[in-house]
Amino acid sequence: MPETTHQFRAETCKLLNILTHSLYTNHEIFLRELLSNASDALEKVRFLQATGAAVRDAELPLEIRISSDRENHVLTIADTGIGMSEQEMIDNLGTIARSGSEQFLKEREGEKPADAELVQEGEDGEEAIVEHDDSKPSDAAQIIGRFGIGFYSVFMVAKKVEVTSVPASGDGSAHVWTSEGTGSFTLRALSGAEAEGLKRGTSVKIFLRDDAREYEEKWRIESAIRKHSNFLPFAIELDGSRVNTTAALWREPKFSITKEQYNDFYKFLTYDQTEPLDVVHFSVDAPVQFNCLLYIPGTAVDVFDERKDEWGPDLYVRRVLIDRRNKELLPNWFAFMKGVVDTEDLPLNISRETLQENTVLRKISQTATRQLLTHFERMAKAEPEKYEKIWKLHGRYLKFGFDSYQHRDRVAALLRYATSAQEEKLSSLDDYISRMKPEQKEIWYVAGSTLEAAKVNPHLSRFRRKGIEVLFLTDPVDEFALEALMQYKEHGFKSVELADAAALDAFPDVEGAEPKPEPLSEEKKPELDALVAAVKDILGDQVKDVRVTERPIDAPACLVSADGVSSSMEKLMRVMQKSDGIPQKIFELNPDHSLVRALMGICAADASDPMLKDMVNSLFDSTLLLDGYMNDPFAMAERSMRLLKQAAGWYSDLRK
């Protein structure tokens, strides 16, 4: 039959040039697109066979074969799919943006697949988790290609393309479509010896350009397949060897998967040889259809600092990788999760590299987030030890859920802290509330750089005296989180540094508490005023002011911010302002402490005594150190040596 020449319908050479040279940023995408088309063609055959329709060469296995001819620089991708007739080749390959898959679906519109599943309302109003069984006959919804653009990406690497196809129905005649991607194509029928031995399916022969000969190499082709198309449901053979040997585990029924299979897939997916702590596997039919397989890693991950861009599940559309580590699928407070999301309903633009509508992704993210929260809530209740282990590894990420107005209450219930009542075992906010004093309204906390630093905070001693439990916050985000939450179950959060002395005095001391010292007499108050003046003179511009404290502390002194914020919050603000100096704060003296009263006596005897200066500076250094700052370590060490020497002398004289 003579060869006929046709112009590409509705499009120009310029548009074709844009599609093949500008639309895709990664040239290896052409292989993903052609393999997706081949998978579509195979899926259509499987659909027809499942519905009882007759197809040509019914005994052929459903597979994709890739071969490389390095001598002639030709790459061939062949499938045993549905194939195309002459008119279909003109329609599907001759019209940019026409999709044979879309037409296939339209022709069967209204047909309900035999294995259609109903959407049910799940527990707590969540979408029902529906298991999908790939062993069932496939339905039309499995067809990938909807836009008919991907085929033309082949011209990124091809100087010429020959497509030979034999349809699965009709007279079975074979045709060859040929184009150099310059705006036209030729079409001719094969007969006689040329058509002998050809069976159902399509073969795409790619004559590689000089700058694309890397795709002759087996390793290069295999790398692209494993990256983008490793989980297609049909065998992909490259020069006689199967490439995609790992199944898309997220598509398998959960009850049929063993723990070992989950662990092996995790290692394959992440290259992390440590077994995951838990698996979250579910399928949802509404509001969008998607499968989700997520893992909780068994090792700590760092995705907020050095690897801030390397988080998020891999996004697939019907087993085809669309985006590695997609951050839109989960909120950043689930950034430690690793895994796969595979959707049926995600619209893509013509390049498949940019999402056409973020609305679908948002719906997936909302549903997946709710499912994960439910999973963590159930674990925290049923397996508290397991949850505590996960919290110690990944809890710092969950804390950022305070920024979610929709989920902050659920996130708050998942928070865990060491407390002054039980330092070794972590407590939830509900645990804390269950142990609160009858008249206690606030949830009290103390922040420090470490647990040890929080435990020696000078503001904590009065709470110990009263037996009031305090949360220990040791992560910089903790105080931000509690302040953003503001309250939990009608109990507000409050720092011990902002406690009111009168409010604490309303609570009785615990049994065995050290008795409070006698209040300072009126006669001694002038001595206190004189000490305050002397301390202010000694410390100078190291402090903003010196005054008598009205705070409920048992320590001799404390430092407070003039702005009324807690010391930990002030540190965070200074970090954000990139200020590394020591702030000017207010130095408050506790007149009920024995050390301060001793200093009052020294000051009354001789306000210019050098020992008074050393003691005041030493007290300031110690208080500053407890606040998380180091003043002058060399001067501090020298002063300490002088005071030790003097104290040792006094003690020696007393022993005589």
pLDDT in tens, 440-453: 999 999 988 888 88
The total of other beta-carbon atoms located within 10 Å of residue 224's CB is: 22
Task: Output the six-digit token pair for 62.
Answer: 């459903």
At 413, the pLDDT band (50, 70, 90 cuts) reads: very high
Same domain, 55 and 202: yes
In a domain, 575, yes or no: no
Domain stops at, among 188, 215, 242: 242
**583: number of Cβ within 10 Å:** 18
- pLDDT class of 307 with cuts at 50, 70, 90: low
CB distance 470 to 504 below 8 Å: no
> Which pLDDT does position 125 carry in this prediction?
39
The pLDDT score that the predictor gives to residue 357 is: 54
Sign of CA dihedral 551, 555, 557, 563: negative
**β-sheet with 491-495: strand ranges across:** 418-419, 471-473, 443-447, 491-495, 487-488
Domain range for 339 is 249-394
Q: From CA 189, how far away is CA 315, in angstroms rounded?
A: 41
**Does 179 share its domain with 53?**
yes
Same domain as 236, residue 332: no
CATH code where residue 593 lies? 1.20.120.790
pLDDT in tens, 194-228: 888 899 999 999 999 999 999 999 999 999 999 99
Element (H, E) at 38: helix 29-50
Residue 109 φ then ψ, to 5°: -60, 135
How far, CA to CA in Å, does 498 sit from each of 224, 495, 553, 568?
Answer: 60, 5, 11, 12
309 domain residue, yes or no: yes
377 plus 339 within the same structural domain? yes
What is the DSSP code (8-state) at residue 292?
Answer: E
The rounded distance, in Å, linking the Cα atoms of 619 and 616 is 5
- 301 and 351 share one domain: yes
Distance CA 568, CA 473 (A): 10
The model's pLDDT over 273-290, given as tens digits with 9 standing for 90+, comes to 899 999 999 999 888 899
Record the tokens describing residue 1, joined without a space.
């039959």
Q: Is 257 exposed, middle or buried (0-12, 13-18, 19+ CB in 10 A)?
A: middle
From 394, 422, 453, the end of a domain falls on 394
Per-residue pLDDT reduced to its tens digit, 228-239: 999 999 999 999
Confidence of residue 551 (pLDDT cuts 50, 70, 90): confident
Give the DSSP H/E element, type plus range, for residue 223: helix 218-228
DSSP letters for 549-605: --S---SSEEEE-TT---HHHHHHHHHHTT--SPPPEEEEE-TTSHHHHHHHHHHHH
Distance CA 244, CA 400 (A): 38
pLDDT at position 656 is 64
Strand partners, 548: 589
CA atoms of 261 and 250, how far apart (whole Å): 11
253 and 213 in a single domain? The answer is: no
Burial category of 617 from C-beta neighbours within 10 Å (exposed 0-12, middle 13-18, buried 19 and up): buried
User: 456: which 2 tokens?
Assistant: 């020696």
Whether residue 398 contacts residue 415, with contact meaning beta carbons closer than 8 Å, is answered with: yes
- Predicted pLDDT of residue 366: 93
| Residue where a domain terminates, one of 219, 242, 265 | 242
Average pLDDT over residues 48-55: 91
Is residue 370 one of the residues assigned to a domain?
yes
Give the rounded distance of the alpha carbon of 27 from its chain centre.
29
What CATH number does residue 154 fall under?
3.30.565.10
Is residue 475 in a domain?
no
Of 56-60, 199-203, 275-279, 320-324, which gets the smallest average pLDDT? 320-324
Number of folded domains that form the chain: 3
Relative to beta strand 491-495, strand 443-447 is parallel
Any domain includes 175: yes
372 and 256 inside one domain: yes
In 320-441, which residue ranges form alpha helices assigned H by DSSP? 358-382, 384-398, 408-414, 429-434
Q: Which residue has the tokens 């007759």?
A: 54
Comparison of pLDDT for 383 and 583, the residue scoring more = 383
CB atoms closer than 10 angstroms to residue 213: 14
Residue 262: give its domain's CATH number: 3.30.230.80
Neighbours of 323 (CB within 10 A): 20
Give me 381's structure tokens. Answer: 């209740």
- Evaluate if pTM is beyond 0.85: no
In terms of DSSP bridges, do strands 320-323 and 314-317 run parallel, antiparallel, or are they unpaired? Answer: antiparallel
Asked whether the CA dihedral 431, 437, 441, 446 is positive or negative, the reply is: negative
Q: What stretches of 489-560 show up as alpha helix (H) in DSSP?
A: 501-505, 525-539
Q: Which residue carries 């930990």 as its tokens?
A: 568
Residues 167 and 269 in one domain: no
Of 309, 317, 376, the C-alpha closest to 341 is 317
Do 344 and 276 fall within a single domain?
yes
Answer yes or no: do 224 and 361 share one domain. no
In-domain check, residue 554: no
pLDDT higher than threshold 90 for residue 96: no
Instruction: Give the pLDDT band (50/70/90) at residue 350.
Output: very low
Query: pLDDT band at residue 403, thresholds of 50, 70 and 90?
Result: confident
**CA of residue 323 relative to chain centroid, distance:** 15
Do 234 and 257 have their domain in common? Answer: no
pLDDT mean across residues, the chain: 83
Q: Is 563 contained in some domain?
A: no
Burial 53-71 (b: 16+ CB within 10 A, else e): eebbeeebebbbbbbbeee
Bridge partners, residue 77, by sequence: 66, 204
Q: Give yes or no: residues 118 and 210 share one domain.
A: yes
Confidence tier at 138 by pLDDT (50, 70, 90): very low
With DSSP H G I counted as helix, E B as strand and the rest as coil, what are the percentages for the chain, rounded to 5? Answer: 40, 20, 40
Mean pLDDT of 338-347: 84
> Across-strand partners of 7?
184
Residue 124 — left, alpha, or beta (φ > 0 → left; ψ -120 to 50 → alpha)?
A: left
Determine, yes or no, domain membership for 564: no
